Every structure is written in C-alpha cells, then in structure tokens.
Structure 1
Amino acid sequence: MEFLDIPLFDDDFFKMMFRFVINFTFLTIIIRFLYYHLSKRKDYVFTYYLISVIVFFLCFTLKKYELDIGMALGLFAIFGIIRYRTDAIPIKEMTYLFVVIGVSVINSLANKKMSYAEIIGANSLIILVLFLIERYWALKQEESKAVVYENIENIKPENYHLLKQDLESRTGLSINKVTIGDVDFLKDTAKVTIFFFRGN
C-alpha cells in the first residue's frame, strides 16, 4: 500500500530498528559506562547521545538514495556551521564525539557484504580499545585553575606547605603544585594558580 506515492511500510523498518538497538546498546557502553564513569560530565552525555542517534538515522535514510554533489556539499555546509558556531571543546571530548559518530555511521551504513557478526565485532573492538586506553595506557592530564587567595602570610616561600594544605582543604583537590602571580598588598590578596590531575 502507498499513500501519496510513498509506501506505508517497508521491510527495511525491521532492519533499521534492529540496527538501532545494536547501535544504542554499544553507544550506552561507550558513553555511560566508559566516558561518564571517568569524566562525570553530564552535558556531554546528552550531546553524544543526541548527535549519535541523529547521525544513525540520517545515514540510514540517506543510504537508500544516491546523493548528488549538491546534497553532499549541503551536508558539509551544515556540519561546518555547527562546528564554527559552537564553543571549543577539549580534545578528549572531541575524540569521544568522533567515536560515537563513527560507531553510528558503521552501524547504519553497513550493507549486505558485512555480516552482523562483523558489525558487533567492530563495535566490541572499539569498546575494548577505549577501555584499555582509558584504564591502563592513558596518562593523567594536569589541569590548572586560577584562584584569588586572601591569606597573604601563606604566600611566603617558607609557608609553601601551609599554602598548599589550605588550598587543598578549601578546594577539595589533590594539588601538585602552586604558583604565585600578582600580589595586591592593599587588599591583602594574591593571584595563585593551582595545578592538579583530572579526577583527583
């Protein structure tokens, strides 16, 4: 049956839903149990899920049509606008964004030449590599934060350990080192920069 020259039902519906379940399952492992477990950043979890779902359905829909050069350029223009209209994100978050987009593209565009075992195997290998790198090979990333500090006595070199202990108790961070910047003796404040590893 058709309505306005469009079929009401197609056998590809079952294929689409089954692949979506596979895609969403592996995305949940990557986003919820790998990325969020280590970063605790909910804002990117929302972004990763929505972008990956949209990319999956976009690719699955477009693979049924032959794209001309105009459509291809239009898609690049859309992604270009999205890229330059958004704030810069850290390299690790950008990498995870590329991973979830890549997984969605693989799961949606695989044709009859690629079996479901190969699709599941590719997804599993991606997750395995992510897990190994995150758990065993990734180096800790040192981050810094500028702080206005008012206890001016602790900025003396002989009181460095007191300064470090005071900042750790106030921020709750395990601080590696502290550097002292501008000092305002009129306000009894100093600009200090604390360095710490992410996750500490």
Structure 2
Amino acid sequence: MWLSRYFQAAGYEVIAVSASPNRYVRLLDITWTLLRRRRRIDILFLHVYGGASFVVEDVASFIGRCSGHRIIMMLHGGSMPEFMASFPRWTRRVLRRADAIVAPSAFLARAVEPHGFRCGVIPNVIDIRLYPFRLRRAIAPRFFWMRSFHPVYNPLMAVKVLERLRATHPEATLVMGGQDKGMQAEVERYAPRSWPRRRGAPPELPRYGAKTA
C-alpha cells in the first residue's frame, strides 16, 4: 500500500485493493473491485509474488486484460525464480498479459530473462525523513535480520557477518526473527556458544529498534 500513497501524493486517483492477509478473501475482494470499478481504471498495477498467491495474480491479470487495462506487474519474493522454474507455462501465460514488468532488484529482473521477458528495475524506496542522521561518538552495531529461516534467504550469512564484525566490535549484536523453514536449528548450532542468546521476542525490542535509527 506504500506505493499507492506516493501516487496519491503526486495527484493521481488510486484504487488500492486488497489489504486482507487471507488470499481467498483477497481474491474475492480484488475480483469484485476490478469488475465493479473497471470503467474507472486506466492502469492495473499488480504485485506478483508467486506461490499460492499466483492464483490471485492470474485471475486479476485476466480480468484486467479482458477489460482492456494496461497492466504493470511488479515481481516480489526470493523464491520467484524457483516458482517460475517449477511452473514455466503458467508463469509465461500470466506474465504475457503485462505491458511492462518491473522488479525491486536485478536478481529478480534477471530471473525472467530466460523466459523471454524484459524486466526493469525500480528499487524499493524509503522516506529518509524517518531516518534522521545521528552522530555517534562510539559505534555499537545493532543488526536486525527479518526473514524466514530458509536457504533462499541464507540466514547463516547474517551470523557469519556478525562473527567477523565482533572481532573488531565485540559489542555488536544481532536480532533474527522469522518463521522456521528448516534452518533455525542449523543457525543456532553455528553461532558460538559464548554468545549471549535468547529465543522469543525480546520485551525491549521496540526500544532496541529505536536505537538503530
């Protein structure tokens, strides 16, 4: 929804749908909105995540194409290349409906090239006003790693980075949060036993996060 706010701030009328985390509710919401408000839509901007949500993206793009809308698809998700490799015909059929395809990283942009698509790169943006500069006399690095413990996100890399950094900054800390997708135990085994550790959400997490700004 962050993208819709930027378009609205620039003076464009935006219909944003849907915020529901349940993909079945989201499918109904998107389908109903596209059909009911099709005459007010010029461009359909569709976020594409793959996986089970690809059904939603398939239906939405089909309705958009039948309604004569120009369609821009933005790819997301580190597992998108694997999904495309597993379902090449399905993904090609859906992506062909797009007038333009973009991605927030060159990694995802390169993933669609073998399938015959060109993909532009539009990096994710942040509002730098929310991150004011703060001069620090002593650097005490604090890191957040917020991803599933899955090989595609390489969680061991975060621990290895901290391991090297603590050689020069022993006060450096790391908070890792995410669903266990098979690698959490391996990450915990790799981390030196001498490091202080705690499982679960630290009660001081909001305050801890504020210190990183």
**What's the TM-score bracket when you normalise by the shorter of the two chains?**
under 0.3
TM-score normalised by length of structure 2? 0.21
Hey, which of these two has a bigger chunk of helix by percent? 1
Asked which structure has the greater CA Rg, the reply is 1
Larger relative contact order (CA 8 Å, sep ≥ 6)? 1
TM-score by length of 1: 0.22
